[in-house]
């Protein structure tokens, strides 16, 4: 009986082939079959695969067809990688695939990847969680053909006024802008990150009252992330609050604190 290997779901990252994890790269190099989401995953990611490995673009396949291809390969003792864009846990639709594989007694493993929100932050050299500005990041999407729970509507989440990265919603930018302005205000800073880490990456900073026109003027209709929050209004010159992590007057388990010439170590 041929050995049945687990199917490995790999996060490809946001586009740059070098942003895949080392573990993900090794999984691709060992795979006999790679089923990749060709509508989003650049073919440049396939450079890490063997020349003799089979590659199937899943863009035109439905769930049944994808599972059939994977099941057949597993029955033949092949190593299979299911390659998803970004991080598989975020809008990756992997759980329904894992459920179908489980019905067929096929196990699965998941290797995380870099999601677009973090690649955008790196490109902008920004931090979502600045001390005393924002300590929370919400990753969400606008309700469209795929509904969201009422308790997680964009309007309700916006009331928190946290840092927010909005996926899969640039096609409804007018509605997004209108919704966000109610809580953040029309002059709130925001940004649009288009195809971040790709060669044609474009990042545009604007305000909520100009978000709609900025997106349309830039011809951005998909593969873009909308980012909003007070942190976008901060600059190195305006930064007032710093973390306690590197504060000389803040002791912790790895740094002693001097009080009246006495050394005191604070345990966490």
* Tens digits of residue pLDDT in 168-225: 999 999 999 999 999 999 999 999 999 999 999 999 999 999 999 999 999 999 999 9
pLDDT at 261: 55
Full-model pTM = 0.87
Dist. CA 108–CA 81, nearest whole Å: 10
pLDDT at 102: 97
pLDDT at 80 over 70: yes
* Residue-wise pLDDT tens digits, 46-66: 999 999 999 999 999 999 999
Q: Report CA 164 to chain centroid distance, whole Å.
A: 12
* Residue-wise pLDDT tens digits, 92-124: 999 999 999 999 999 999 999 999 999 999 999
Q: Give backbone dihedrals phi and psi of 203, rounded to 5 degrees, phi first.
A: -125, 120
User: Sign (positive/negative) of CA torsion 58, 64, 65, 71?
Assistant: positive
CB within 8 Å of 64: residues ≥ 6 apart: none
pLDDT at 251: 58
pLDDT at 185: 97
pLDDT at 112: 98
Hey, is 256 helix, strand or coil? Answer: strand
> What is the pairing mode between strands 33-36 and 7-11?
unpaired
User: Sign (positive/negative) of CA torsion 125, 130, 134, 138?
Assistant: positive
Dist. CA 151–CA 190, nearest whole Å: 24
Dist. CA 231–CA 259, nearest whole Å: 34
Domains with residue ranges and CATH for the chain: 7-111 (3.40.1010.10), 116-233 (3.30.950.10)
Dist. CA 193–CA 228, nearest whole Å: 11
Average pLDDT over residues 69-93: 96
Residue reference for tokens 């209004």: 233
Distance (Å) of CA 242 to CA 61, 231, 238: 50, 13, 11
* Residue-wise pLDDT tens digits, 248-264: 555 555 656 655 555 55
The CB-side HSE value for 222 (13 A sphere, CA atoms) comes to 2
Q: What percent of the chain has pLDDT over 70?
A: 89
Dist. CA 105–CA 268, nearest whole Å: 45
pLDDT at 245 over 70: no
Dist. CA 264–CA 133, nearest whole Å: 30
pLDDT at 248: 57
Burial of 131 (0-12, 13-18, 19+ CB in 10 A): middle
């Amino acid at each position: 009986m041929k050995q049945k290997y687990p199917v490995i779901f790999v996060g490809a990252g946001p586009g740059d082939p070098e942003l895949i994890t080392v573990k993900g790269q090794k999984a691709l190099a060992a795979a006999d079959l790679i089923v990749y989401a060709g509508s989003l995953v650049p073919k440049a990611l396939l450079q890490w695969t063997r020349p003799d490995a089979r590659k199937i673009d899943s863009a035109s396949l439905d769930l049944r067809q994808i599972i059939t291809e994977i099941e057949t390969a597993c029955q033949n003792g092949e190593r299979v990688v299911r390659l998803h864009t970004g991080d598989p846990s975020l809008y990756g639709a992997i759980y329904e695939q894992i459920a179908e594989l489980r019905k067929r007694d096929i196990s699965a493993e998941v290797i995380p990847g870099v999601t677009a929100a973090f690649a955008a932050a790196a490109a902008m050299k920004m931090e979502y969680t600045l001390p005393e500005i924002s300590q929370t990041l919400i990753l969400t999407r606008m309700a469209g053909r795929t509904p969201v729970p009422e308790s997680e509507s964009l309007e309700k989440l916006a009331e928190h006024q946290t840092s927010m990265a909005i996926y899969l919603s640039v096609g409804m930018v007018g509605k997004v802008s209108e919704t966000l302005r109610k809580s953040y205000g029309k002059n709130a800073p925001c940004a649009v990150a288009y195809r971040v880490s790709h060669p044609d990456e474009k990042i545009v900073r604007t305000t909520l009252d100009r978000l709609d026109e900025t997106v349309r003027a830039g011809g951005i209709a998909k593969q873009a992330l909308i980012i909003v929050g007070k942190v976008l209004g901060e600059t190195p010159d305006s930064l007032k609050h710093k973390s306690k992590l590197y504060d000389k007057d803040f002791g912790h388990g790895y740094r002693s604190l001097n009080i009246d010439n006495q050394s005191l170590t604070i345990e966490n």
